Amino acid sequence: MYRYDEFDNQFVRERTRQFRDQADRRLKGDLTEDEFRPLRLMNGLYLQLHAYMLRVAIPYGTLSSRQMRQLALIAERWDKGYGHFTTRQNIQFNWIKLEDTADILDALADVEMHAIQTSGNCIRNVTTDHWAGAAADEIADPRPVGELLRQWSSLHPEFSYLPRKFKIAVTGAPNDRAAVKVHDIGLRLHRNEAGETGWEVIVGGGLGRTPMVGVTVRGFLPQHELIGYLEAIMRVYNLYGRRDNKYKARIKILVHEIGHDKFREEVEAEYASRPHPSTEVEERELKRIAAYFAPPAFENLPRWSPAFEEAKLSHPAFARWAKNNLGPHRVDGYAIVNISLKPEGGIPGDATAEQMRIMADLAERYSFDELRVSHAQNIVLPHVRKGDLFAIWQALEDAGLAAANYGLAGDIIACPGLDYCALATARSIPIAQSISRKFADSAKQDEIGRIKINISGCINACGHHHVGHIGILGLDKKGEEFYQITLGGSSAESASIGTILGPGFAGHEVADAIETILDTYLKHREPGEEFLGTYRRLGAKPFKEALYATA
Amino acid sequence: MPLLRNGAVVSDGWIDVSADGEVPTAGDVVLPASRLLADWPGLSERNGRLGVRLANTDRPEMFQALLPRLSLIVLPFPAFNDGRAYSIARKLREMGYAGELRATGNVLPDQMQFMLQVGFNSFEIGDRFPIEMWSRASRQMSLAYQRGLFRRDAESEIWTERHTDAEAWLEQPHAG
Amino acid sequence: MSAVEKGQLITANRLRDGNAVFLTTSGNWSESIDEAVLAVEPEAAAALEQRAREDERKTIVTGSYLVDAERRDGRVRAAHIRERMRALGPTVRTDLGKQAEGKGAFFAAPEGE
C-alpha cells in the first residue's frame, strides 16, 4: 500500500500546523464561527449533538496494522474508547474536543493519516472497492488512481469552495462494489478489444433528498486524460452548480436541470478550451504510486486447503462463518476475510480500541499487514491463506468479532442517527438493533440469504437507504420518530433507487414490518433467487399487500 | 479599502466608474462588465489603463478578445464559501490574461494562498486582520500537489519535484 | 399537584469541548438541563437569545438556539426528543455522556414506548 514520501509527510504536517493556528484563533475569538466553520469542516471536524465529531480519512478504505493501532490509541486517549467505521470507508470519533483536535491530527500524521477534506464543500475521500487488489473479478486495482486523485484533490485551490460536497468513487471490477453510479463522479475501469484499459466517467449520481443514478459522459477515457477531464467537470460544477438552496446544490441537480446533453456539451467545451500540457509528469506519478500497490508475495498454494476443509468439518460454527464471510480471491489458496462489525443487537460499524488492535494484529500476521474498510461498515482482511482461516476465526470469536452474518439480514448498515448526529430526524441504531435481534437466528438468516438493509436517520441518507434492497428512512412526524420503508434499491452496476412502499411505521413496528417483507420474499422466491431478483420480478405489490393488508 | 499586493499595502490608483457614469478622458478606470462591453471598442482608444469588475456569474470567455487591453480585473467573493471566482480567475489566466487580478468581498487570510494559486495578485482586505497575518497565511503551505497553477509565491509542485530528474525517478524505492 | 411552567430555554455547544450545555439563571452554561432558565414571555426569550449571542462572541459557546420546554417540580423536559437526548447522551450507549456522569436529565428520550 502507499507510503508517504518526504513531500506527503511535509504536506500533512503543514496542514496540521495550519489547523492548529486556525483553532487557536477561533478559541481566542479572532475568527467567528461562520469564518471558522468551513475551515474546520475541511479538516473533518463536525459539531454534533453531544460533542465534536472527527471524521478521519481512510483513503480508498485501505490501512495498515500500524495505522489501525493508532486509531485505537486515538480512541482511548481523546475519545471514549471506540470508533465508528462509515459507509464511505472512513472512521468517526464521536466525543472530540476542539482543543484536542490539532494534537489528534499530529498523531494521525505520525502514521501517514489525516482528516483532510472529510467534510466541507470540497472533494471528499475517494472511495473504492473494498476488495480491490484481491477480488477474483477485478480487471485492475483501482487504488493507484485512487491515490493519484487523493493527491490531486487535496487542498485544490480552485475546488475548495464548491456549491456542496463532492464525492468520487473508483472501481476496477465489473461487479461494482464501490457504488460508482450513485456518486457525484464515478469512475469505472473497462478493457477494450485491444486490451487497453480506459475509464467510464459517470456524473451526477447521488443519494440524499433527491436520489439519482449518474449518467455516463465518457465511455472510455484514456488514463492520461483523467485529471484534465475531471478538472473540466469540476469547473463546470463550481461555476454553474446552484448556491441558492443547500438541498439543490449537488452536481446531480445541475445535470438534471440543464439536461444530460447540455451538461456533456458544457464539460466537453470546457475540456477542449483548456490548455493541454504534457501529462508525462502525471503518468510518471501514477507509475510511481502503482509500484506501491504491486501484489504482495503470494505463496504458490493449491486451491484446496486440507487444513481449512478439516476445520470446517469439525467446527460447524466455523464452517458457517466460512460460508458467509469469505470472498473469492484471485489467487489460489487465498481468501478474502470479511469481519462483521454487526454483532447481534450491537451498534453497526462500531469497534472498541481493543477490537481495533486485535484486527490490526490479525492483519499483520495473516494478511500482509493490510486491512480495508467496506461500505457496509465492516473490516476486510484482503489476502489470507486458507490454511490460516481457522486460527483467525478463533481469534475473532474471542474478540466478539465473529458474527457470521456478512451480507445477510444481520449485516445492517446504519448511520449514527439521532443518538449522535445533529442533522438527524430520528434514531437509526435502535432500529438496527431491533432488526438484528429479530433475525438473530442463524438458520433464518441463511435461509433469507444475501440482503442489504440500510437505515438512515434523516433525508441526508448517510446510511445509503436509497440503495438498500430494503431501505429505512427515519423521519419526524409531529415530534415522534417515524420510519418509511423503501424496497428494491441497489448500488451495484445495475443501480436503482428504492421505491417507497407505503405509509410509515413507528419505531417499535419496524422490525415486524421487515419480517413481513422477508417472509413475503421467502414465500414467492424462485429457487436460487435473491431478494432483489424477486422484487424486480414481482414488483412492490405482494409486499404492499402483505404489509398493509387489513386484518 | 486597503489594497494588498506583493505582501504590502499599496494605494489604489484606479478610478471607479459606475454603469452610467462619465468616463474620464485620462487615467486608469475600472468599469462594470456591462459598461465595458457596451462601450467597446470605443473605450479601447482612450488614454490610460482599463479595468473591469466582473460578477462571479460572468462567463470569462465573453472577455477573450478584450483581455490584451485589460490591465485590471476585479472578481468578487460574495460570501466566504462562494468559490466561483476561483474558477473564473484560473480560467482568465489560462486564457492568457497577464494583468492584475484582484479579489474583493469576503476574503479571509486563510483563503489567500488558494487565491494566489489560481492567479489573483492583489486583494482588497478589510482592517480586521494585521498585515502580518495576511503574509503568514499566504505562506502556510509550502507544497501543493496540483500542477499548472499560477503562483506568485513559490510553493513547490510536489509532482514536478518528484519527476524532474528522470534518473532520480528510476532509482526511487518501490515498496511492496 | 405539580406546577408546570412552559417556556423556552437556550441550548448551545461549549466551544472548547463541544459539550451540549444550557443557559442558566446565573448566566453560566450548565450541562444539566434542570438548571436551565426558562423564558415564559417572548421578550424574555429574546433576551436569552441576546445573552447567548454575546457568549458566542466571547467564545464561550457556539450554535445556540431556543427550544420549547417545560419545568415540572424542578425538572426540565424539552419538548423535542433531540433536546431530551442532548440532555442525556446516546440512548444506545447509556454508559456514555451526561447520563453516565450524574448530569443526566430526568425525562427520558424517547418516552413511553
Angle between helices A280-292 and A143-153 (to 10 degrees): 120
B3-171 belongs to which CATH class?
alpha beta
Q: Say yes or no to pLDDT of B154 above 90.
A: no
Relative to beta strand B143-144, strand B156-157 is parallel
Q: Is A51 on the interface with C (CB under 8 A)?
A: yes
CA distance C34 to chain A (A): 17
Minimum Cα–Cα distance from C88: chain A residue: A50
pLDDT band at B167 (very low <50, low <70, confident <90, very high): very low
Task: Provide, rounded to the nearest whole percent, the portion of chain A with pLDDT above 70.
Answer: 100
Which burial class, exposed, middle or buried, applies to B96 when counting CB atoms under 10 A from its CB (0-12, 13-18, 19+)?
Answer: exposed
Which burial class, exposed, middle or buried, applies to A297 when counting CB atoms under 10 A from its CB (0-12, 13-18, 19+)?
Answer: exposed
Q: Say yes or no to pLDDT of C12 above 80.
A: yes
- The residue that leads in pLDDT, B14 or C2, is B14
Tell me the mean pLDDT in the region A252-281: 95
Q: Residue holding cell 489604489? A: B12
pLDDT tens, position by position, B72-87: 999 999 998 999 999 9
pLDDT band at B175 (very low <50, low <70, confident <90, very high): very low
- The residue that leads in pLDDT, A550 or C50, is C50
Q: Can you tell me the distance from the alpha carbon of B64 to that of B61, in angstroms, rounded to the nearest whole number?
A: 5
> Mean pLDDT of all residues in chain A?
96
Which residues of chain A make contact with B86, given a CB cutoff of 8 A?
157-161, 238
Tell me the mean pLDDT in the region C2-24: 94
CB-based contact C90 A50, cutoff 8 Å: yes
Q: Is B39 on the interface with A (CB under 8 A)?
A: no
pLDDT tens, position by position, C42-95: 999 999 999 999 999 999 999 999 999 999 998 999 999 899 999 999 999 999
Q: What's the confidence (pLDDT) of residue C112?
A: 55
pLDDT tens, position by position, A362-414: 999 999 999 999 999 999 999 999 999 999 999 999 999 999 999 999 999 99
CB-based contact C92 A48, cutoff 8 Å: no
For chain C, what is the HEC assignment? Answer: CCCEEEEEEEEEEECCCCCEEEEECCCCEECCHHHECCECCHHHHHHHHHHHHHHHHCCCEEEEEEEEEEEECCEEEECCHHHHHHCCCCCCCCCCCHHHCCCCCCCCCCCCC
pLDDT tens, position by position, B119-135: 999 999 988 888 888 98
Q: Is A477 on the interface with C (CB under 8 A)?
A: no
pLDDT band at B166 (very low <50, low <70, confident <90, very high): low
Residue spans per domain, chain B: 3-171
Tell me the mean pLDDT in the region A320-341: 97
Q: Can you tell me the distance from the alpha carbon of A62 to that of A60, in angstroms, rounded to the nearest whole number?
A: 6
- Domain annotation for chain A: domains and CATH numbers: 6-110 (3.90.480.20), 127-291 (3.30.413.10), 306-399 (3.90.480.20), 413-548 (3.30.413.10)
Which residues of chain A make contact with B146, given a CB cutoff of 8 A?
152, 156-157
**Which amino acid belongs to residue C63?**
G
pLDDT tens, position by position, A426-455: 999 999 999 999 999 999 999 999 999 999
Q: What's the confidence (pLDDT) of residue B153?
A: 58
Which of A69-83, A347-361, B7-21, B48-62 has the least mean pLDDT?
B7-21
Which residues of chain A make contact with C91, given a CB cutoff of 8 A?
419, 427, 430
CB-based contact A51 C96, cutoff 8 Å: no
Question: Does the ipTM surpass 0.90?
Answer: yes
pLDDT tens, position by position, A492-503: 888 899 999 999
Residue spans per domain, chain C: 4-100
Q: Say yes or no to pLDDT of A172 above 50.
A: yes
pTM of this structure:
0.95
> Mean pLDDT of all residues in chain C?
92
Q: Which of A48, A342, A427 to mutate to test the interface with C (most CBs of C within 10 A)?
A: A427
Q: Strand (E) positions, chain B? A: 3-5, 8-10, 15-16, 29-32, 50-53, 70-77, 100-105, 122-124, 143-144, 156-157
Contact criterion met (CB below 8 Å) for A497 and A420: no
Angle between helices B109-117 and B84-94 (to 10 degrees): 30
Q: Which of C11, C15, C60, C77 to mutate to test the interface with A (most CBs of A within 10 A)?
A: C15
> Mean pLDDT of all residues in chain B?
89
3-state secondary structure of A407: coil
Tell me the mean pLDDT in the region A81-98: 97
Q: What's the confidence (pLDDT) of residue B148?
A: 82
Tell me the mean pLDDT in the region A8-18: 97
Q: Residue holding cell 451480507? A: A407
Tell me the mean pLDDT in the region C25-38: 95
